[in-house]
Amino acid sequence: MHITTHHSKKFHEPWKKEKLGNLVEFKNGLNFRTGESGDEVLLVGVSEFKDSFILDENRLPMISVNSLPEDYLLQSGDFLFVRSNGNKELIGRVLFAKNVTKKITFSGFTIRARNKSNVILDEYCATFCSSPLVKKQFVTKGGGTNINNLNQQLLSDIEILIPPIQEQREILRILNLWNKAIELKGKLIEQKKEQKKGLMQRLLTGKVRLPGFKGEWKEVKLGQIVDKIVGGGTPNRNNEEYFNGNIPWATVKDIGEENYKSTTIETITEKGLANSAAKIIEKGNLILSTRMGLGRGFINLVDMAINQDLKGIYLNKEIVDVTFFLYWYKSKGNDFERQGAGSTVKGINLSTLKSMRMLLPDIMEQKEIAKLLRCIDKELELLTSELEQLKKQKQGLMQLLLTGKIRVKC
């Protein structure tokens, strides 16, 4: 996309600087109790801020409230800030209500902003507030550290740079091109994930066979194909060399969507493992979550120690392909949740795990199925990387456009 610098007198008009509190009025959201009866209304909670800038009415949950004052209902052009949340990364995140067609309210974890000025467009103000320019001000005006919560006073002190209205419209037009590209890439990723999910269900059960394979699939208990299961534990943190080692220590938080992992956040020494319950899982084996996050795991590419929420699984590799088994395990996540034991933290014990059954084709067919699914994963990794690149490009563009370093042509 090409953006040109404009040199006409029209764009020599200086930008104004104004405090946000002089441009908008704020309203803290309400805390709602479950079980109320009365009017039905849609509710914006913190979870709606994670992946979006534009509010999607169709994704909002419905609640019933006894009575709701009119000023707690959103109007078109309003935008919301995350006021407080357990995840600091979400604090200050912005959601813009571009078109409100239904009755929508907002939770006590949010603050609503409503434009009361004629010098700034609703969407431009919301866009500026969602930019890194404002996030930096949260830190400087909040005492120099990441803030735990927002308040109306802190928001009121935020300084906004305001170009002429026509220039605001052109900046929004350019940024919305990036937003559209990001939205389309995100939708493509979701479609690919759904396609992969359906393909896994068919391939991993033998409902669809790859060309050239006709042999019968056999039902086996996991205990028949697992050579060894190693439980995790806690390394000896009292050892003074604990943080100076090079043995990765995997915990349940390190398990994401990736199938392979070579490093983790923390490391420990061989000495740090002495007299502890932690065990090292040799590279090339499975590390599975059998408590929190059932149905997740990865293949370790280096030797790793694991904590108590994980299990190291050594498969009989003459019978079962490790990658094939991992895809099967991930596809059974919901089944594992249902079979898990425990009231607070569900988990699968070893006897339950060993007694589970799976259909197993010939080892060569397993490898080909795993290879095909791995190709789809690589495509998803590429698309995800492209999406992150688009987001970074947009952030850089916002830095230039919203500060006037680049002036756009109308």
Q: Domain with 93 in it: what CATH number? A: 3.90.220.20
pTM for the structure as a whole: 0.78
One domain for residues 14 and 157: yes
CA distance 113 to 313: 52
What is the tens place of the pLDDT at every residue in 322-369? 999 999 988 886 666 555 544 444 566 677 778 888 999 999 999 999
Question: What is the reported pLDDT for 3?
Answer: 46
Q: What is the pLDDT of residue 86?
A: 67
Note whether 170 and 129 are same-domain residues.
Answer: no
Looking up residue 201, the CATH number of its domain turns out to be 1.10.287.1120
- Residue 12's pLDDT is 59
SS3 track for the chain: CCCCCCCCHHHHCCCEEEEHHHCEEEEECECCCCCCCCEEEEEECHHHHCCCCECCHHHCCEEEECCCCHHHCCCCCCEEEECECCCHHHCCCEEECCCCCCCEEEECCEEEEEECCCCCCHHHHHHHHCCHHHHHHHHHHCCCCCCCECCHHHHHCCEEEECCHHHHHHHHHHHHHHHHHHHHHHHHHHHHHHHHHHHHHHHCCCCCCCCCCCCCCEEEEHHHHEEEEEECCCCCCCCCCHHHCCEEEECHHHCCCCCEECCCCEEECHHHHCCCCCEEECCCCEEEECECECCCEEEECCCEEECCCEEEEEECCCCCCHHHHHHHHHHCHHHHHHHCECCCCCECCHHHHHHCEEEECCHHHHHHHHHHHHHHHHHHHHHHHHHHHHHHHHHHHHHHHCCCCCCCCC
Residues 202 and 145 in one domain: no
Shared-domain flag, residues 21 and 145: yes
| Residue 154 shares a structural domain with residue 110 | yes
Say whether both 51 and 87 belong to one domain.
yes
44 and 149 in a single domain? The answer is yes
Q: Does residue 335 sit in the same domain as residue 387?
A: no
**Domain identity same for 30 and 126:** yes
Does residue 4 lie in a domain region?
no
Name the residue range of residue 184's domain: 165-210+361-410
In this structure, the answer to whether residues 198 and 324 fall within a common structural domain is: no
Which parts of the chain sit beneath pLDDT 50?
Answer: 1-9, 11, 239-244, 341-345
What is the per-residue pLDDT for 6?
44
Count up the domains in the chain and report the number: 3
Residue 87 and residue 151 in one domain = yes
Q: Which tokens is 263 given?
A: 């490093």
What is the predicted pLDDT for the residue at 84? 83
pLDDT at residue number 9: 43
Say what the pLDDT of residue 243 is. Answer: 43
